[in-house]
Amino acid sequence: MMDAPLSPSLADPLRRTLRLPDAEATAALARRLAPQLRAGDVLLLQGPIGAGKTHFARSLIQSLLAAEGRTEDVPSPTFTLVQTYATAALEIWHADLYRLTSPAEAEELGLEEAFAEALCLIEWPDRLGSLVPTNALTLTLAPEPQGDGRQLTLAATDPRWRAILAEEPPMTEAPRDATAFIAAAGWGDAARSRLAGDASNRKYDRLSRADGTRAVLMDADPAKGEDVAPFLAVGRALLLRGLTAPEVLAEDRAQGFLLLEDLGDDLFARVLARDPAQETTLYAAATDVLTHLHGAPLPSDLRAYDAALMGKMAALALDWYLPGVTGTPTDSADFAALVASLRDTLAPGDPVMALRDYHAENLLWLPGRSGIARVGLLDFQDAMAGPRAYDLVSMLQDARRDVPEAIEAAMVARYVAQNRLDQSRFSAEYAFCGAQRNLRILGVFARLSMHYGKPHYVDLIPRVWGLLRRDLAHPALAELQAAVAATLPAPDAAGLQRIKEQSGCHPLR
């Protein structure tokens, strides 16, 4: 179970102290504990700010989701107090009680019922008072004075935990070795150079041989919450449907390494920066890809981007952007419910395969190929079964570049004609998907700055806000427009600066 690089000390069968030398060891321990947990288990995470409580919880939750082939963002519940996740086996509750002032407030969150029916991970459990369940496992993290190490003490009174605490773990975990993976794949003689990354924890290197052949190394470290399984599954589905995704040349799922076909550097964004006259050609080709994809059978194992999840994702604007600007958190449940109800009303059709990051920096132009194969697809591992308008909005309402409104209108008309859709109904679905996506991006960009220390994303917020306002102008979104106007302030210079000033200040607890 606990095969991270630890130094155990077992003085009592129901108490154990381990040394975690770094954040990766903390994550490794969480991953090894995860498969042994079940509904009704409660983990109490104690320790000061920055001790690694949220890092441990996030790693554990992502491990349980990855077991089902899912990659999902696991934000800190600092503002929301509780985040919930559902797997086939159990429901997971992740709570941060730091802002509570009495056990009565914890009771109002429904935690007592969750303790009996779900797997619960509770940060700042001292706020529970007498509500602390007797069957809990307490994990106390104490950072070492120097370096990244920490001491972890696990303690319990319930015999349920005896076997876990008494287990003698192997002392080391095999180190990740990209060089060995590359050599085993037959590319040991290739030169390596770093490629630009994205908003995730994945890293990319280009491998270049003397004969001019190239490949791309994807480094998706499981210790940082990454998992290559969804990328492999979605990429395979795209290739089977006649689309252009990178061929997989070699893989090591356990270590998170993939060696991929190199599709080149001609991202739509770069091509259009050099030659804006190609805008219609490129966007028309990418629209044709969506028509082809949406006409193909839907993979059976895709997670549903359903009304509840779309509402929850839109509410990230209230969970992160709003407190980032105002300093005041708020309950986003009613807002999420409103968005969910609109999803059922405005986008009720059969779902299609939505790649969910379909835009100019994830699309490659391959003019040497023909038809839909001219568009290379990247960053598709988060694909879900969602509304057909979603990826069209993602491409035409790009958070990173201005797409001329004339191009947007022409491509929407092209898609509607190709798929024989009702223009009026699709217009409402398109506006809803645009509003939902842009609300989510407001929250994501604020979180990338405040939580992950990436303030440059804040500079993109004004464009996203402008797109959101355009979407909300649709008559079908009048209720959502009113809710946004009553809740979210416009991103003025002072508010954006406040988000930047909090960069990295909402640490992993």
Residue 43 reports pLDDT greater than 70: yes
- Nearest partner of 50 among 76, 85, 28, judged by Cα: 76
Instruction: Give the tokens for residue 33.
Output: 């504990």
pLDDT number for residue 454: 85
pLDDT at 374: 98
Mean pLDDT of 198-206: 79
Residues across the chain: 509
What are the φ and ψ backbone dihedral angles of 95, each rounded to 5 degrees?
-120, 140
Q: Output 463-468 pairs: Cβ under 8 A, ≥24 positions apart.
A: 463/399, 463/400, 463/402, 464/399, 464/438, 465/438, 465/490, 465/491, 467/397, 467/399, 467/434, 467/438, 468/434, 468/435, 468/438, 468/439, 468/442
Q: Judge contact between 198 and 379, C-beta under 8 A.
A: yes
pLDDT of residue 398 exceeding 60, the answer is yes
Tell me which residue of 304, 291, 292, 299 sits closest to 237, measured CA to CA: 299
Pick the CATH number of 268-501 from 3.90.1200.10, 2.60.120.260, 3.40.50.300, 3.40.50.10140: 3.90.1200.10
What percentage of the chain exceeds 90 in pLDDT?
65
Rounded to whole angstroms, the Cα distance separating 157 from 214 reads: 57
The highest-confidence range among 84-93, 198-207, 208-217, by mean pLDDT, is 208-217
In this prediction, residue 222 has a pLDDT band, given cuts at 50, 70 and 90, of: confident
Instruction: List the domain boundaries for the chain.
Output: 9-158, 178-261, 268-501
The tokens for 50 are: 């920055």
Average pLDDT for 368-381: 96
pLDDT in tens, 290-312: 999 999 999 988 889 999 999 99
Residue 451 pLDDT exceeds 80: no
Range 178-261: architecture per CATH: 2-Layer Sandwich (3.30)
Q: HSE on the CB side for 184, CA within 13 Å?
A: 11
pLDDT of the residue at 167: 61
> Tens digits of per-residue pLDDT, 400-412?
999 999 999 999 9
Closest CA to 304 of 451, 86, 90: 86
User: Apex CA 36: angle with CA 107 and CA 54, to 5°?
Assistant: 50
Q: DSSP states of 425-468 as a string?
A: HHHHHHHHHHHHHHHHHHHHHHHHHHTTS-GGGGGGHHHHHHHH
In the chain, DSSP finds a helix count (H) and a strand count (E) of 19, 17
C-alpha torsion 424→428→431→435, nearest 10: 180
Q: Could you say which of 3.30.460.10, 3.30.70.141, 3.40.50.1360, 3.40.50.300 is the CATH number of the domain covering 9-158? A: 3.40.50.300
Q: What is the pLDDT of residues 68-113, one digit of tens each?
A: 878 778 888 888 899 999 888 899 999 999 888 888 888 888 898 8
Is the pTM higher than 0.85?
no
Position 124 pLDDT exceeds 60: yes
- Please tell me the predicted confidence (pLDDT) of residue 7: 38
pLDDT band for position 243 (cuts 50, 70, 90): very high
Instruction: Give the mean model confidence (pLDDT) for residues 385-412.
Output: 97
Q: Is 371 exposed, middle or buried (0-12, 13-18, 19+ CB in 10 A)?
A: exposed
Looking up tokens 């958070």, which residue turns up? 399
C-beta of residue 60 within 8 angstroms of C-beta of residue 34: yes
